[in-house]
Amino acid sequence: MPKFGEIIRSQGKDVDPIINELSLMKQLIKERVHSLDLLRELLSNSGAKEVEAAEIRIKYTVDEEGHIFEIVDNGCGMDFSDNKMLPGRLDKFFGLGLSTIVGIKADEFSWKGLGSKLAYQSRRIEIDTCCKSGSAIKVEINEPWSSIDRKLIPKPKVFTYDPGTERKTGTSIKVVGHPPHTKEISFTADEIKKFLLHRTFMGFTRERQNAPKVTLSVLGRTEDLQFGFPEFHDIDFKSFEHSGLKFDESIKTLYINMKPKSSKQKPVVIKGFITWDTKRYDLSSDNLNTGLIISVKGIPYFKLDMEEYGVTSIRTARPGEKKTCLILECDWIQDEMNISRSGLVDSPKTVELRNIVAEMFQRIETSQEFLTFRSLPEKTKIEDQSEVLAQEKLQIESKDQNWVVFESGDSSNPPIILIREPKYEHEVDALIWKLEAMNALPFETFQSLAYIGGGKGPDLLVSFLEEKGSEPQRATVVEIELNFYNYRPHGHKPAQYPKVICWDVPSSGRKVKLNKTKKSYKYTANMDDYQVHVYCIKNMPGIKVYSRDELQEKGFPF
């Protein structure tokens, strides 16, 4: 007697799953990330080697139907067979199938028929094409997206006509109202240009023989675009393809052209640069030229997560992703791109790619060239500091340098050189402390208790008694200034900062009215309901300012 399992197997049969191809295509089309992805795909179709286009015109306008994208090329044109077994280029464009996946031969960049699929998300498609042989063809597809939305297959209307004696091959594809639900603010010329140069065939990351001339017209503004990834135009990658790295200290940039260590590994190239001078290359996330960008068959598509691909020190603040412009070229990963080409699917191939790239970045980040590049800011800082020191020393030795001197008026106590005439606020700090140590400040009591400074709050907390009989103040706040011009811009409130000690109170440029007092060094300023006391060191008793020549005349050994 047969067992139950054997009975089940003998009665089993293969079942075809239900597939609604139209619904599938609708969902795949909706997964496109950006409206300009349509331009990327149509441009890839025109730029393929098989099309042999020498000139491509890209046009963008807006009307009451929405965004209008148009691509015109002078290539071989699109033939039409109306035969599913032997489809021509136009037949393939009409198709909502998955093109190369179902075995139909495709051009250089064509993949899954994405260009035509994205075009179907529109109000209308207009095609005008002419081949070397046969009639010229006009096509109109009305409300394709509305048809798909209603689960209907769009029906192209095909018209043939005689192109006349001056037959010129080429194709024009105009997509009106893409996507049909969007009538938002139009794209700017700058937005479209950046996208074309960094996310499409226009930003080709390799050398390209017979690159087409490309013209962009946006809302009536027309310009010729330079072919190729713009940040790479002046980089000779061949000159260091064997070493993989080249450090140019003069422009603070490390150039990279790295391949896997073993020739047995699948081909991958990391190329580009990291730099401390982002302005030279106009690096910015808004310009779509920072980070690690994947390029397939020479076309840059999207950024990768650098952390996932083993990037460590490069992506951190030294130098950081914003100072990085790297392209990851890998053709064999194309089949692992999602339908919208906006990312990579999870697969054994993508895991293999991550492992290969991580090993390459490990070599880059441990190289002597990178370590030297990374230490450049410290070296530059030291050099800058040396230059500052040299300039300050020259100024100190200059005949034009003035010096602050304290003269007590007592012939038994000779004059004392305190410091050069202050140029910075911290030199005023030093001057105050010297005078405090000499008990030469014109106050009954002045004892520094704390120096806070550094933008954290008040400069000094002092034990203060201005003169005998006045109110003693413990831990009173004293603000230090080089020259007193204003008060409120510092964010100070008179109630919290009632005292200011400064080197000078220039009359020119001062925003606060100062009232003189009986003391030559003391001023008052009425602020709201409070009175601020301003003490000017330059006017204090015994303080003099002499030039170097004057000091030498007084017998000082300068």
SS3 string, 193-217, reads: HHHHHHHCHHHCCCCCCCCCEEEEE
What is the predicted pLDDT for the residue at 558? 65
CA distance 404 to 421: 6
The neighbouring-strand residues paired with 512 are: none
Q: Which listed CATH number (3.40.190.10, 3.30.565.10, 3.20.20.70, 3.40.50.80) goes with 21-201+212-225?
A: 3.30.565.10
Strands across the sheet with 416-420, in order? 416-420, 402-406, 543-547
What is the predicted pLDDT for the residue at 1? 56
Identity at 122, one-letter amino acid code? S
What is the predicted pLDDT for the residue at 98? 47
Contact 505, 535 (CB under 8 A): no
What is the predicted pLDDT for the residue at 103? 39
Q: What percent of the chain has pLDDT over 90?
A: 50
- To 5 degrees, how large is the angle CA 114–CA 203–CA 313? 105
What is the predicted pLDDT for the residue at 114? 63
The DSSP 8-state label assigned to residue 333 in this structure reads T
Per-residue pLDDT tens over the stretch 105-131:
567 777 655 667 888 888 999 999 998
What is the predicted pLDDT for the residue at 102? 38
CA distance 29 to 26: 5
Per-residue pLDDT tens over the stretch 145-199:
888 888 888 888 998 888 777 778 999 999 999 887 766 678 899 999 999 999 9
Contact 297, 108 (CB under 8 A): yes
425 membership: H or E segment, kind and range: helix 425-437
Contact 156, 94 (CB under 8 A): yes
Give the confidence band of 99 by pLDDT, cuts at 50, 70, 90: very low
Identity at 413, one-letter amino acid code? N
Q: Map out the domains of the chain as residue ranges.
A: 21-201+212-225, 231-377, 402-545
State the number of CA atoms in the 13 A half-sphere of 106 facing the CB: 20
Per-residue pLDDT tens over the stretch 357-416:
999 999 999 999 999 999 888 766 655 566 667 777 888 888 888 999 999 888 778 889
Give the confidence band of 95 by pLDDT, cuts at 50, 70, 90: confident
Per-residue pLDDT tens over the stretch 255-308:
999 999 887 888 999 999 999 999 999 999 999 999 999 999 999 999 999 999
Contacts 24+ apart (CB under 8 A), 277-281: 277/251, 277/252, 277/253, 278/322, 278/323, 280/251, 280/253, 281/231, 281/325
* Torsions phi, psi for 545 (to 5 deg): -125, 120
Contact 269, 244 (CB under 8 A): no
What is the predicted pLDDT for the residue at 491? 52
pLDDT for 500 beyond 70: yes
Give the confidence band of 93 by pLDDT, cuts at 50, 70, 90: confident
What contacts 467, CB < 8 A, 6 or more positions away? 443, 444
Which two tokens mark 131? Answer: 């081949």
> Where is mean pLDDT largest: 290-294, 424-428, 486-490?
290-294
Contact 68, 62 (CB under 8 A): yes
What is the predicted pLDDT for the residue at 21? 61
Buried b (16+ CB within 10 A) or exposed e, 66-96: bbbbbbbbbbbbbbbeeeeeebbbbbbbbbb
What is the predicted pLDDT for the residue at 118? 83
pLDDT for 543 beyond 70: yes
The neighbouring-strand residues paired with 464 are: 446, 473
What is the predicted pLDDT for the residue at 462? 94
- Tokens 């009451």 label which residue? 64
What is the predicted pLDDT for the residue at 19? 44
